[in-house]
């Protein structure tokens, strides 16, 4: 009965959109063109990355490969830097730096004993400004996420209460002391749609000036909580449309990006491709964001629906350039990759050990080499900090240099840096997507433990999940208390094994066993639908059940993109991407290791032609 009601509501939703004069996408029942031949022509030539002379990736992966001789003087410098790092809290940076300069004849590497050494790797003022802006943004986010002392929290709670009182009266002005996220905190107190919310919406819409884009975003999302009610659909659409037009020439603003993304998706649901493409184009012009790949996908989707071949291929080209391995890139090509044949080719790429762009960066690279040579993984990890904290930093380096640095991350078991460096290489030059680099990007670990636990789901799906949850780091833990390879909350683990303790979850065999049992229970709950099970693993089953009632599910990728939690949106599609590549790289190996053919192949409906 509930499903029938939702279906009727969404049919009415589309009917309303047509009655308002929107030009809908083609309603043809014939199969839409795939343009597969034209897509296949875009395949890059992987042989280029292995042409010529130089150190090969296979060589660079070997332990203690270095490009320069380690002299006694160099050994003393390395030892000094190691000691300085160990005692950094107890000594003045300036004093240690001056001592290093004196002892080692102003060696450039002395700058790495300073606490702000990362700044020395940025020689462009704009980049430093961007980094400082990012720090300020993170500070603001920490404040808005509730990380305050008790007195500050008490004061701030009064601000939120005052804001809520104002909103209930339909007042749209910000209140003194309001910070980012307070609109969300206030609006989440409404459990039902009320006349107070109707008044607030009316005043926002009637305002002769543009209100804060954060208010448009959270008020629109609050209305979405009551989809598929047709009145709530009209309200969200109207709020997003006004925000889109209000900030038509807006610089980068995450709330304007959010409302454009929601408006574009609702337009796709309404089969209003003209509006969807216009909105997604404005979104793309705002610069790279969490929505970029999705905006390009839906532009391509609409172009194919309208049989606009040139527009489709232009969107595909940009989508492939931006994210060659991604879920949306796979989906637009009927669930496959034009790079898949590279897996069967024995290509050993040439790495580049030094950059031509910045001499200071070469001192950094050599220092990483030297710490690797003396088996100091901790110092290698510390030196790779810019890669983890400021991924944009990688764009300062040529792809071959990034690939070389990835080998040090691999040996020091810094999987986050490894994945980020390889991802940046692939996004810059997809020619590097070959068997040897993919196996680094998609490592397969704890195979025996996974095989022992996976009874109902494909073991490679579990590997895909572990890669996303913990990057195969046994002792991983999150700020909310999730621990281990499969990032289990202790309370959740106790639902599976009542007597398990938190410390037990740090053991790979325990974590994998309990994690698989819990996940397989979710797969059963959703009748084998792994995308819904993955969403529930991340966000909780009750939340996913609400989303199913709220949004249409027939077009699976549209449903996944409509998920209002960015973390869950990304989580499901990233694991789907992981599974595609894991299954292509390791299917035969897993068949051999398990001794049986994999009968439990995993279906990701979002990868099918919609």
Phi-psi region of 446 (alpha: psi -120 to 50; beta: other; left: phi over 0): left
Phi-psi region of 334 (alpha: psi -120 to 50; beta: other; left: phi over 0): left
SS3 483: strand
509 is catalytic: no
Strand partners, 477: 483
Alpha helices, H only, 353-501? 359-373, 377-383, 385-389, 399-411, 415-428, 435-441, 447-453, 459-470, 490-496
DSSP secondary structure code for residue 605 in this structure: G
First to last CA, the chain: 25
- How far is 242 from 245, CA to CA, in rounded Å? 5
Kindly give, in sequence order, each residue whose CB lies less than 8 Å from that of residue 420, ignoring residues fewer than 6 positions away. Answer: 387, 388, 391, 394
Cα angle 186, 139, 87; round to 5: 145
3-state SS of 512-528 is HHHHHHHHHHHHHHCCC
- How far is 49 from 434, CA to CA, in rounded Å? 10
SS3 477: strand
- How far is 279 from 461, CA to CA, in rounded Å? 35
- How far is 528 from 462, CA to CA, in rounded Å? 14
SS3 222: helix
CA-based nearest residue to 75, from 404, 429, 447, 370 = 370
CA-based nearest residue to 399, from 425, 420, 419 = 425
- How far is 340 from 446, CA to CA, in rounded Å? 25
3-state SS of 115-148 is CCHHHHHCCCHHHHHHHHHHHHHHHHHHHHCCCC
Q: Per residue in 69-92, is it b (16+ CB within 10 Å) or e — as a string?
A: eeeeebeebbebbbebbeeeeeee
- How far is 303 from 297, CA to CA, in rounded Å? 10
The one catalytic residue among 109, 214, 225, 469 = 469
Strand partners, 488: 483
- How far is 383 from 572, CA to CA, in rounded Å? 32
Strand partners, 350: 56
Half-sphere exposure of residue 297, counting CA atoms within 13 Å on the CB side?
26
Crossing angle (nearest 10°) for helices 530-539 and 508-525:
120
CA distances from 573 to 11, 51, 327, 532 (A): 27, 34, 6, 11
> Residues with catalytic annotation?
469
């Amino acid at each position: 009965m509930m499903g029938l009601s939702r279906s009727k509501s969404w049919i009415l939703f589309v009917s309303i959109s047509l009655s308002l004069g929107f030009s809908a996408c083609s309603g043809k029942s014939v199969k839409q063109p795939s343009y597969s031949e034209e897509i296949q022509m875009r395949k890059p030539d992987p042989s280029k990355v292995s042409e010529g002379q130089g150190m090969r990736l296979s060589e660079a992966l070997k332990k203690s490969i270095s490009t320069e001789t380690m002299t006694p003087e160099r050994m003393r410098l390395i030892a000094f830097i190691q000691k300085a790092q160990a005692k950094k809290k107890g000594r003045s940076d300036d004093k240690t730096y001056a001592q290093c300069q004196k002892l080692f004849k102003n060696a450039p590497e002395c700058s790495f004993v300073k606490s702000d050494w990362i700044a020395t790797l940025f020689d462009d003022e704009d980049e430093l400004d961007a980094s400082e802006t990012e720090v300020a943004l993170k500070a603001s986010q920490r404040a808005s996420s509730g990380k305050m002392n008790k007195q500050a929290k008490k004061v701030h709670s009064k601000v939120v209460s005052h804001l809520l009182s104002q909103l209930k009266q339909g007042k749209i002005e910000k209140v003194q002391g309001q910070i980012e996220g307070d609109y969300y905190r206030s609006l989440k107190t409404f459990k039902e749609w009320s006349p107070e919310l109707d008044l607030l919406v009316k005043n926002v819409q009637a305002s002769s000036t543009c209100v804060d884009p954060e208010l448009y975003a959270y008020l629109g999302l609050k209305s979405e909580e009551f989809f598929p009610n047709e009145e709530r659909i009209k309200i969200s659409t109207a709020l997003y449309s006004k925000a889109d037009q209000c900030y038509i020439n807006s610089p980068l603003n995450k709330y304007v990006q959010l409302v454009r993304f929601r408006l574009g998706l609702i337009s796709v649901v309404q089969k209003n491709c003209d509006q969807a493409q216009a909105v997604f184009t404005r979104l793309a012009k705002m610069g790279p964001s969490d929505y970029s790949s999705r905006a390009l996908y839906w532009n391509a989707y609409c172009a194919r629906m309208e049989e606009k071949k040139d527009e489709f291929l232009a969107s595909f080209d940009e989508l492939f350039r931006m994210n060659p391995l991604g879920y949306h890139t796979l989906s637009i090509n009927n669930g496959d990759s034009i790079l898949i044949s590279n897996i069967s080719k024995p290509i050993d790429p040439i790495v580049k050990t030094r950059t031509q762009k910045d001499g200071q960066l070469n001192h950094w690279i050599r220092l990483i080499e030297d710490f690797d040579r003396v088996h100091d993984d901790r110092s290698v990890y510390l030196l790779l900090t810019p890669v983890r904290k400021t991924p944009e930093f990688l764009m300062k380096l040529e792809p071959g240099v990034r690939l070389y640095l990835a080998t040090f991350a691999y040996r020091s078991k810094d999987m986050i840096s490894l994945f980020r460096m390889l991802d940046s290489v692939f996004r810059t030059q997809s020619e590097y997507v070959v068997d040897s680099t993919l196996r680094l990007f998609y490592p397969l670990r704890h195979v025996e433990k996974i095989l022992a636990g996976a009874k109902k789901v494909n073991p490679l799906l579990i590997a895909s999940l572990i890669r996303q949850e913990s990057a195969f780091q046994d002792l991983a833990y999150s700020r909310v208390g999730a621990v281990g390879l499969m990032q289990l909350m202790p309370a959740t683990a106790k639902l599976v094994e009542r007597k398990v303790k938190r410390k037990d979850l740090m053991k790979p065999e325990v974590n994998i066993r309990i994690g698989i049992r819990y996940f397989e229970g979710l797969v059963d709950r959703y009748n084998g639908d792994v995308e819904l099970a993955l969403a529930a693993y991340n966000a909780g089953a009750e939340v996913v059940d609400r989303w199913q009632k709220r949004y249409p599910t027939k077009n699976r990728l549209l449903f996944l993109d409509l998920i209002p939690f960015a973390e869950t949106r990304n989580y499901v599609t990233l694991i789907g991407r992981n599974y595609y590549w894991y299954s292509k790289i390791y299917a035969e190996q897993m068949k051999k290791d398990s001794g049986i053919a994999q009968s439990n192949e995993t279906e990701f409906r979002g990868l099918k032609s919609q």
